[in-house]
Amino acid sequence: MKWETRRLVDIVDRVLPHFSRYTLISGKQNDVDLLATICQMMLRGHHLGRQGLLHIVELANEMNPSGSRRYSAAQIAASAR
């Protein structure tokens, strides 16, 4: 079974509680913790300001360091107003 979502409310209400109940043994737990922090920041509206957005980008760049990224942190920072 596969379930996907991009909705912040679904992530906060369904995904994060699942990983609180069933913690990951691998280093991926750190990514889940960072995701939880980012989601809380977004719920408070931090992503709406330039500084908050840049802080979220910094945290997101710490997640899955071996993964590929569509946009670099520098590209996002340059386009943030």
Q: What is the mean pLDDT of residues 40-59?
A: 96
Q: What is the mean pLDDT of residues 43-65?
A: 94
pTM over 0.75: yes
31/28 Cα distance (integer angstroms): 5
Of 32 and 69, more confident: 32
Which pLDDT does position 26 carry in this prediction? 85
Q: What are phi and psi of 13, to 5 degrees?
A: -85, -25
28/49 Cα distance (integer angstroms): 28
Averaged pLDDT of the chain? 92
Where does the pLDDT of residue 43 fall: very low under 50, low under 70, confident under 90, or very high at 90 and above?
very high
Where does the pLDDT of residue 45 fall: very low under 50, low under 70, confident under 90, or very high at 90 and above?
very high
